[in-house]
Amino acid sequence: MGTSKKKKALIIGGGVAGPAAALALQRVGIEATVFEAEDQLTRYRGSFLVVARNGVNALRTLDAFEPALARGFWVARMELSSGSGRRLGELGINSGGLAIERGELTAALRDEAIRRGIAFQTGKRLLDAQSTPQGVTVQFADGTEISSDLLIGADGIHSHVRTLIDPQAPAPQFTGLVGMGGLARLVRPLPVPPPPETFQFAFGRRAFFGWIPAPSGEIYWFTNMPQIREPERQKLSTISREEWRQQLLSLFADDAIPACDLISQTSPEDGFQPTILHILRHVPLWHRHTLVLVGDAVHGTTTSSGQGASLALEDSLVLARCLRDASDVQQAFTAYEHLRRPRVERVARMGRRGTQAKMVGPLLRRLQDLIMPIALKLFLHPEKESWLYDYQIDFNEPLPI
């Protein structure tokens, strides 16, 4: 943006998208401050993800891959099986990905941002924001008020900034799944040792299960449990972690996969935190005046896509490029949406199909187990996945806007 005055940005949200956006903006000369509602950034053991190759590309462009890799480990392949233990095929990950606890990825980005001089403030819950001729003025719950040139909502799928941009914005919808994960510190070895650098998934009789060995010998696992109705958060909070463990042992008792071995060797403090999984449908307004959205705040996709963090990292780079090359904020935000919306909505459609596959009944499950090997061979060729995993942002290339 052509001006001699250095631009400033306020970023709401200290998860993956917030620090990533701050790092990207710093590269184009925009000074950002990140505000997090919590008094501290909470980390739950066992909550992990895999940053796919396109997300790794974005981390490299941010010069943040090495700090993240130091907190995680590399995954080379992904395999799918049935609850009976029958191998169904290999899922596309196209040359690997970074397995890392969500809290560790956030911490890696945050610590790298702080090392580069980016400011973070915790305990800052956003109340309101008004666009002004000079930019934006923001009010926080602690009574403070701050003005800046622009505001970026990186505050997740339940984004408050999204409702400030559009009071009629769609609310997140229940996917029909409740997620849970953990970290098994093995005392008893598994009957079949898991292959190294391999993320394994299985369609159990009653729920979906995934597990991956860390180089240290521990094994991360997760489950997606189908639910007819969205459970009440308050009711979920009354269930102890030990009760959850017993429920999961019952859920996977009839499956020939290592779910019960891993669940039984996971201590309560290393997992069993339920998460109600939501999806964000089409968001009509990505930006308004000097407010804009990134990450799950604007395109919260299902965990089945495996792309939530990667898309947020990509958003940060594209938004920064647009702000660098556009003549004003409005032109930048319009270009950003134009460049990002088709891609993220395609990923969202892919993720919804993956979620539906986890929710079929016993009869359809048998049919699915027969069809899945054929489908994987037909549709998961590297060239057919190139649009997703080979996505590379040439940050230094000027945009034609």
Return the domain boundaries, the chain. Answer: 8-74+96-172+279-359
Q: What mean pLDDT is predicted for residues 360-371?
A: 63
pLDDT of residue 6: 86
Q: How confident is the model at residue 296 (pLDDT cuts 50, 70, 90)?
A: very high
Greatest mean pLDDT among 78-82, 269-273, 277-281, 335-339 lies in 335-339
Q: What mean pLDDT is predicted for residues 256-283?
A: 95
Q: What mean pLDDT is predicted for residues 226-245?
A: 95
- What is the pLDDT of the chain when averaged over all its residues? 91
Q: Is the pLDDT of residue 248 over 80?
A: yes
pLDDT of residue 221: 97
Distances (CA, A) of 294 to 12, 16, 253, 337: 10, 10, 41, 10
Q: What mean pLDDT is predicted for residues 200-214?
A: 94
pTM summary value: 0.92
Distances (CA, A) of 364 to 88, 139, 348, 367: 15, 52, 23, 5
Contact 314, 393 (CB under 8 A): yes
d(CA 287, CA 348): 19
Q: Write the pLDDT tens digit of every residue in 15-28.
A: 999 999 999 999 99
d(CA 6, CA 149): 10
Q: Write the pLDDT tens digit of every residue in 323-360.
A: 999 999 999 999 999 999 999 999 988 887 767 666 66
DSSP letters along 23-35, please?
Answer: HHHHHTT-EEEEE
Q: Which one-letter DSSP state was computed for residue 268?
A: G
For the chain, what is the radius of gyration of the CA atoms?
Answer: 21
- Placement of tokens 């395109």 in the chain: 299
Please name which of 177, 180, 174 lies closest in space to residue 243, comparing C-alpha atoms: 180
d(CA 290, CA 151): 6
**What CATH class has 8-74+96-172+279-359?**
alpha beta
pLDDT of residue 94: 59
Q: Write the pLDDT tens digit of every residue in 115-163.
A: 999 999 999 999 999 999 999 999 999 999 999 999 999 999 999 999 9
pLDDT of residue 134: 94
Q: Between the CA atoms of 113, 54, 295 and 107, what dihedral angle is there, to the nearest 10 degrees?
A: -30
Q: Which one-letter DSSP state was computed for residue 359?
A: T
Q: Considering only 86-90, 186-190, 239-243, which range has the smallest mean pLDDT?
A: 86-90
